[in-house]
A and B are shown apart, each in its own frame.
Chain A
Amino acid sequence: MSQGNVLAITEQSDNVFRKVTYEALSEGRRIADSMGCGLTAVVLGAGENLAKEIGQYGADRILVADNEALHEYMADAYTNVVADIVSREKPVTIVVGASTQGKDLSARLAARINAPLAMDCVDIRIDNGDLTVTRPMYGGKILADIVFDGKPQILAIRPNSMSITEHAAAGAIEILDVNIGKTDLKFIEKKLDTGKVELTEADVIVAGGRGMGGSDFSVIEELADLLGGAVGASRSSVDEGWRPLEDQVGQTGKVVSPNLYIACGISGAIQHLAGMSSSRVVVAVNKDSEAPIFSKADYGIIGDLFEVVPLIAEEIKKIKN
């Protein structure tokens, strides 16, 4: 009776679920309801206690694969274990968050089980049991609709693109016997800056470009902190060495979809626009009234960012109080 469910692969790091896991579960539930089947979630590398945390997000069953070899994400061990679960559960569709881990795992898994994979889905529609997904291509310059001729379809869901829904019933937890299989990768170390809001998951991004004129991003950092958001950067400010590579938004950096994107001193090169144009609301602050960024912004202020941005922060503080 478990056969033919939707399977959601969750992601945790150091016993904290990634936000996109809740999005994938909620979307998995919605797909399962449309197809008239159940939702089975898989938790890897953590125990029953952590698994309970996702109980309210729509899964009927929560399979727990707890093993020391899965505590850190390892592509080979994870692929072996998930492929094993897939062959037993025979899901119709697999959903996973398109994080770094989700992309890595889903790509290797698709090749292992010979299944079609749609990366970075931003919309999923079901019509008479047939799936159509929408995903960005060309760094976000184009949206493409994709259909499938094979099963199970693997849908990797772009972070910040699907809503999170809670459910009344809690899923039943099942502890699995785990066979890690053949592995070749050896874990050496992990270095994380835990205080930082991840760009692809941020609700608000305040980004700086060439107009920053140097590595002092304090006005931008203060506004981002105030809004609980992350700091982004254009390629030119990364190339100048003003910001680290992981802050780069654009076609050769990160493609982001926050609720609010505030572009400061960014003129709006086509590669940058591709990376941020799926943001819900875009604000541009720039001295140059001709800057292309204004054509992609919902609201624009023509002015000196060093004068305007602190004043925006002041006004937001007034509202918050």
Chain B
Amino acid sequence: MEIIVLLKQVPSTESFIEIADDGISIKKDDIKFVINPYDEFAVEEAIRLKEAHGGSVTILSAGTDKTVEAIRTALAMGADKGILINDPAIEGCDALGTARILAAVLKDTPFDLIIAGQRAVDDDNFQVGLAVAEFVDVPHISMVIKQEVADGSIRCQRTVEGGTVTLEAQLPVLFTTQRGLNEPRYASLPGIMKAKKKPIDMKTLEDIGLDSEKVGKPMSRITAMKFLPERKGGKIIEGGSAGEKAAALVRALNEEAKVV
């Protein structure tokens, strides 16, 4: 079974995000970059599927030189090889541009299954994975917490508001991950050693037959970034007893804030 994992490198969720001087991007110098947490579930699930059904796991990413670290980590977890589209034009792409790049690679790469994170925790778009499915013309199932592959088809349980829905489709399929799917493994020391010898295929947009002028031209762009307005309050309710504090709070919620 040939499995492709779409992977993005993002600031770790512990990061304190600061807006850069241009006002439309974030400061990246002091930030720790990691595999997008939802993509980590995808890597883990792909390795488990390979362990159960055989085949290989290929990590596919569009990024920069730095992205190699994230791909190596996935290889150390147990993926077999990486493909990195490394081109300065990628920086300016919107979600559809990125999806077109990834889909262009997949035109020449055989696969039975594509696994992607439901979203990247930096731009929170929920978009690239499903757009790739559209561009390579396979069905998608998003927000999956459980999957089962048998006889050339896949059955997935996905989360929806207040419950779950189970769907089935013939492979090839793209599914996206939801927290709860698995607990990603840590890379072992032998895994890390082996990963150093695993191949990462680096390509430019030209190599995959795309015109960087066209594919990098976004249909949506950021014009400003700002922080949420600071809360003025931070008002600590004082009082002699817990009962007095509770009464003062509810009075404030009722009379001042008008929320109860």
Q: Give A residues with C-beta under 8 Å from B.
A: 18, 72-76, 99-101, 103-104, 107-108, 110-112, 114-120, 132, 135-150, 153, 184-194, 196, 198, 200-201, 204, 227, 245-246, 248, 251-253, 259-260, 270-271, 277-278, 280-283, 289, 294-304, 307-308, 311-312, 314-316, 318-319
Q: In the complex, which residue of chain B has the Cβ closest to the Cβ of A255?
A: B124
B148 to chain A, nearest CB (A): 11
- With known contacts A119-B127, A281-B259, A298–B231 Cβ distance under 8 A: yes
> How many pairs, one residue from A and one from B, have CB atoms within 8 Å of each other in the complex?
255
Contact of B130 among A100, A108, A300 (CB under 8 A): A108
CA–CA, A136 and B121, complex, Å: 11
CA–CA, A107 and B99, complex, Å: 11
Contacts of A74 in B (CB 8 A): 167
CA–CA, A87 and B257, complex, Å: 47
Contacts of A191 in B (CB 8 A): 163-165
CA–CA, A308 and B141, complex, Å: 44
Check A184 against B139 for contact (C-beta < 8 Å): yes
Check B250 against A312 for contact (C-beta < 8 Å): yes
Which of A72, A146, A198 has the most chain B CB within a 10 Å cutoff?
A146
Check A138 against B166 for contact (C-beta < 8 Å): no
Contacts of A259 in B (CB 8 A): 259
Taking CB atoms and an 8 Å cut-off, the chain B residues in 216-260 that contact chain A are 217-228, 231-237, 242-243, 245-247, 249-254, 257, 259-260
B35 to chain A, nearest CB (A): 13
Stretch in contact with the other chain, from B13-21, B63-71, B75-83, B84-92: B13-21
Interface residues of A, dominant DSSP: mixed
Contact of A107 among B38, B124, B130, B220 (CB under 8 A): B130
Contacts of B11 in A (CB 8 A): 138
Check B135 against A111 for contact (C-beta < 8 Å): yes
Interface membership of B194, Cβ < 8 A:
no
Check B237 against A198 for contact (C-beta < 8 Å): no
Check A114 against B259 for contact (C-beta < 8 Å): no
Check A111 against B179 for contact (C-beta < 8 Å): no
Interface membership of B115, Cβ < 8 A:
no
20 pairs of residues in contact across A and B, judged by CB atoms under 8 Å:
A76-B139, A100-B159, A101-B160, A107-B131, A110-B96, A116-B96, A116-B219, A117-B95, A117-B220, A138-B121, A142-B17, A144-B226, A147-B220, A187-B165, A192-B160, A280-B259, A298-B234, A299-B253, A304-B242, A312-B249
Q: In the complex, which residue of chain B has the Cβ closest to the Cβ of A150?
A: B219
Q: In the complex, which residue of chain A has the Cβ closest to the Cβ of B167?
A: A185
Contacts of B225 in A (CB 8 A): 137, 142-145
Contact of B169 among A186, A196, A314 (CB under 8 A): A186
Q: Give B residues with C-beta under 8 Å from A.
A: 11, 13-17, 19, 24, 26, 37-38, 94-96, 99, 121-127, 129-131, 133-135, 138-143, 145, 155, 159-170, 179-180, 217-228, 231-237, 242-243, 245-247, 249-254, 257, 259-260
- With known contacts A251-B13, A319-B260, A149–B180 Cβ distance under 8 A: no
CA–CA, A74 and B249, complex, Å: 46
Check B242 against A303 for contact (C-beta < 8 Å): yes
Check B168 against A248 for contact (C-beta < 8 Å): no
Check A299 against B219 for contact (C-beta < 8 Å): no
Known contacts A143-B228, A185-B141; can you find 9 more A-B pairs with CB under 8 A?
A: A103-B126, A107-B129, A115-B219, A144-B225, A187-B165, A190-B165, A196-B162, A260-B260, A299-B235
Contacts of A198 in B (CB 8 A): 161-162
CA–CA, A316 and B26, complex, Å: 43
B159 to chain A, nearest CB (A): 7
Check B130 against A149 for contact (C-beta < 8 Å): no
A216 to chain B, nearest CB (A): 19
CA–CA, A311 and B250, complex, Å: 10
Q: In the complex, which residue of chain B has the Cβ closest to the Cβ of A244?
A: B180
Contacts of A190 in B (CB 8 A): 160, 163-166
